[in-house]
Structure 1
């Protein structure tokens, strides 16, 4: 059977959602504090704002340092491309016009609490995943699939940690 998954150039996406028994303002205070994120992630090791920024605003930049058993250690600079307090926060990784990934949190008041989603898109810019694909182009679709499943597990864990903190 032939593998028929997405290719990197397809800019594959995924989204995970959860409902949190807390108002959007409380959830936003956690989502928008990016320096908390390493505590909620196996891969992300540290985050710090650049250029004197103290919080999210369109155009603000931050550096993130990550580690993965198969990919090693790396750092990226991200650019906030969307910031609507209490509603959404998005950033482009590396080049804003051709990011290696785009990440977005969305919050929506629902049933007395908050529906929180985390969405991400791979590519179109090059990333560490591109290097793995360069080495094994015949396995590109499997590489993309496996990485998306890793992101899905990590996002699910992050949303669970945000839910735990917001509700307690």
Structure 2
């Protein structure tokens, strides 16, 4: 049977969302705290701002160090590409013009609380996943599908953790 999923060049995306019984300002403080993210992630181990930045702003950069059983350990530099307080925080991984991934948190007021969405896109720039695809090009669609499902589960877990932190504050 032929696999019919997305290819890396398709720039596949994943999106998850949740409603949080907390004001956008409280949720915003959590999603823009990149130092908090490793405690919510099974892959991300450490994050630090670069160039003297103390927090997010368009153009600010941060380095992330990650680990995955199948992909090994790696480090990437991300560039903040969208920053609208209490609304949108997004970053491009590795290269602004040809990122290996783009990640975004979006907040919207919802019934006295906040609807929080996390979205990510693979590619178009090369990433660790590209090396796996290079080794097994016939399995590209399956490799992409599995990685997207991993991201979907991780993002679901991250939003659940953020919801708990925001609602318990």
Q: TM-score, normalised by structure 2?
A: 0.99
Q: Considering only aligned residues, what root-mean-square deviation do their CA atoms show, in Å? A: 0.4
Distance in 1 of aligned mates of 2:118 and 2:66: 18
Moved over 2 A (4+): none
Unaligned runs of 5+ in 2: none
Deviations 1:7-62 (A, max 9, x none): 00000001000000000000000001111000000100000000000000000000
Q: What displacement does 1:127 show?
A: 0.2
Corresponding residue of 2:164 = 164
Matched position secondary structure for 1:34:
coil
Corresponding residue of 2:153 = 153
Corresponding residue of 1:5 = 5
Distance in 2 of aligned mates of 1:73 and 1:94: 15
Unaligned runs of 5+ in 1: none
Distance in 1 of aligned mates of 2:152 and 2:15: 8
Deviations 1:93-141 (A, max 9, x none): 0010000000000000001100000000000000000000000000000
Matched position secondary structure for 1:129:
helix
Q: What displacement does 1:2 show?
A: 1.5
Distance in 2 of aligned mates of 1:134 and 1:56: 34
What count of residue pairs does the alignment treat as equivalent? 168
